[in-house]
């Protein structure tokens, strides 16, 4: 395709989701050491509270991950500074998916709009991209916190397209969740590239390696 814009999801595409789980495990373990908590029980509480926080979301309304973290911290009975421990755990454990940084940096040298469309808190999304050294590489970053909705709500994709000034049919969305990323983008007329997700009628291209996107555009 002759693309005028390429958009990436963060979690599961640029960011290795498994590394996030490991970062949370490390954080809760550090929290246990700091506040004398049973590690296994604390991790169970952390996961249960975060899960409940997001399950209580209505439709595509945005719910802040930070609010979920604070809810879990309260459930653990921690009354003190937890943010420094969390930041160290995240920065020390999160990793990009193979080829993600290379693909983004290579696309940045081409004549197109490079953007992000992600269901993250704005500060968290930008911190992840900065940790990987690619925040300044993007022309636009569209987050659910900024829009107030989550994918597959059309507002997420329409906001990003408004920033790029490109037509949907010349804009590629690279995502890993079929309903949220792929169907959501297809519903507004974008071209789709699925990474690590099931095939379906809304998938235009399948990517085994994120560097394969370089051949599409």
In this predicted model, what pLDDT tens digit does every residue of 125-167 receive, in sequence order? 999 999 999 999 999 999 999 999 999 999 999 999 999 999 9
How far apart are alpha carbons 61 and 124 in whole angstroms?
18
Using an 8 Å Cβ cutoff, are 133 and 77 in contact? no
How far apart are alpha carbons 89 and 91 in whole angstroms?
6
Tokens 């160290």 — which residue? 88
81, exposed or middle or buried, with CB in 10 Å at 0-12, 13-18, 19+? exposed
Flag whether the pTM goes above 0.75: yes
How far apart are alpha carbons 23 and 91 in whole angstroms?
8
Using an 8 Å Cβ cutoff, are 28 and 86 in contact? no
How far apart are alpha carbons 185 and 205 in whole angstroms?
13
Q: What is the mean pLDDT of residues 202-214?
A: 96
Comparing CA positions, the residue from 208, 205, 209 lying closest to residue 3 is: 205
Q: What is the mean pLDDT of residues 61-80?
A: 95
How far apart are alpha carbons 86 and 158 in whole angstroms?
33
30-51 per-position pLDDT tens digit: 999 999 999 999 999 999 999 9
Q: Which pLDDT score is estimated for 80?
A: 85
Does position 198 have pLDDT exceeding 90, yes or no? no
DSSP H/E element including 185: helix 184-187
């Amino acid at each position: 395709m002759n693309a005028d814009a390429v958009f990436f999801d963060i979690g599961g595409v640029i960011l290795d989701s498994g590394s996030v789980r490991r970062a949370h495990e490390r954080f809760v373990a550090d929290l246990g050491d700091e506040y004398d908590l049973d590690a296994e029980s604390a991790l169970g509480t952390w996961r249960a509270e975060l899960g409940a926080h997001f399950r209580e979301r209505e439709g595509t309304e945005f719910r802040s991950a930070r609010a979920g973290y604070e809810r879990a911290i309260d459930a653990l009975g921690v009354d003190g500074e937890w943010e420094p421990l969390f930041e160290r755990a995240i920065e020390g454990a999160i990793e990009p998916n193979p080829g993600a940084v290379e693909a983004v940096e290579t696309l940045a040298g081409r004549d197109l709009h490079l953007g992000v469309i992600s269901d993250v808190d704005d500060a968290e999304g930008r911190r992840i991209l900065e940790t990987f050294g690619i925040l300044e590489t993007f022309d636009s970053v569209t987050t659910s916190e900024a829009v107030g909705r989550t994918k597959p709500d059309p507002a997420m994709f329409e906001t990003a397209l408004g920033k790029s000034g490109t037509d949907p049919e010349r804009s590629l969305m690279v995502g890993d969740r079929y309903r949220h990323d792929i169907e959501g983008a297809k519903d507004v007329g974008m071209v789709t590239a699925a990474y690590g997700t099931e095939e379906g009628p809304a998938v235009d291209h399948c990517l085994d390696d994120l560097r394969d996107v370089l051949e599409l555009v």
